[in-house]
């Protein structure tokens, strides 16, 4: 496998991409304060993984991935998996379609290693490369039991020989239970917006208005 670390523009990476290349990228769009916040979440989760004896966590697009990265991705027919090693010094490894390399990477708040695949190549070889990068065989792999699809799970199991797959839902819930400063501020902002919207709507409601009329306000 060819490995490359680069600071070149992501558009350049896309034009020079080779299916068996692993890239390290960092988005310049996130300010340092936000980087530190998400990095703290990442480090805190890694600590919990070590305490629970989980070597690698595999996340699909969803609420927990948004919590760790700030990105709002939806699952599609093309697999995207965020692998988080419990090793304190290891960067996350993201398996994703080549066509999403630029947009997804620009949204990330910290450095990651990318394992990308093209439609022509298919995702199976990329799972094999990711398993090799993360040394998945004979490791303990945590997954979200409520959201892990059979497609990704089968690929992980196929390439992680003798690995033990365990549920990590409770661990993730515990990690998110303690809110950080930014989350508390976001909750306060959401409550304020909701209250202001409600007061503004109530001020315009008149007798004999229907629910549809109120919705149109």
| Band (184; pLDDT cuts 50, 70, 90) | confident
pTM: predicted TM-score of the whole model, two decimal places: 0.74
Could you tell me which residues come within 8 angstroms of residue 38 by beta carbon, excluding any fewer than 6 positions away? 30, 68, 69, 70, 109, 110
pLDDT of the residue at 127: 98
Report how far apart, in Å, the C-alpha atoms of 109 and of each of 33, 71, 151 are: 10, 9, 28
User: Of residues 176 and 31, which shows the higher confidence score?
Assistant: 176
pLDDT of the residue at 5: 39
Q: What is the mean pLDDT of residues 152-159?
A: 97
Q: What is the mean pLDDT of residues 7-18?
A: 37
The answer on pLDDT for 8 being more than 50 is no
pLDDT of the residue at 143: 97
Tokens 């497609």 locate to 151
The span from the CA of 21 to the CA of 173, in Å, is: 34
| Band (11; pLDDT cuts 50, 70, 90) | very low
The architecture (CATH level 2) of 2-177 comes to 3-Layer(aba) Sandwich (3.40)
* Paired tokens of 210: 């229907």
Q: What is the 3-state secondary structure (H, E, C) of 66-133?
A: HHHHCCCCCCCCCCCEEEEECCCCCCCEEEEEHHHHHHHHHHCCCCEEEEEECCCCCCHHHHHHHHHH
Reported as type and span, the H/E element at residue 57 is strand 56-59
pLDDT of the residue at 215: 84
Query: In this predicted model, what pLDDT tens digit does every residue of 82-91 receive, in sequence order?
Result: 999 999 999 9
Q: Where are the domains of the chain?
A: 2-177, 181-215
């Amino acid at each position: 496998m060819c490995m490359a670390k680069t600071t070149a523009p992501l558009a350049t990476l896309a034009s020079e991409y080779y299916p068996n290349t692993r890239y390290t990228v960092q988005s310049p769009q996130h300010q340092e304060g936000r980087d530190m916040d998400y990095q703290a979440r990442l480090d805190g989760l890694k600590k919990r993984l070590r305490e629970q004896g989980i070597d690698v966590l595999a996340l699909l697009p969803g609420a927990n991935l948004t919590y760790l990265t700030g990105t709002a991705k939806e699952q599609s027919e093309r697999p995207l998996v965020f692998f988080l090693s419990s090793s304190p010094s290891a960067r996350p490894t993201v398996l994703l379609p080549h066509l999403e390399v630029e947009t997804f990477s620009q949204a990330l708040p910290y450095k990651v290693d990318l394992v990308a695949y093209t439609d022509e190549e298919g995702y199976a070889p990329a799972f094999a490369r990711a398993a090799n990068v993360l040394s998945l065989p004979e490791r303990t792999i945590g997954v979200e039991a409520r959201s892990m699809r059979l497609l990704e799970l089968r690929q992980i199991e196929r390439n992680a020989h003798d690995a033990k797959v365990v549920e990590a839902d409770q661990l993730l819930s515990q990690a998110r239970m303690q809110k950080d400063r930014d989350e508390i501020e976001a909750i306060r902002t959401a409550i304020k917006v909701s209250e202001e919207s409600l007061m503004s709507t109530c001020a315009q409601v008149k007798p004999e208005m229907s629910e549809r009329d109120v919705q149109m306000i």
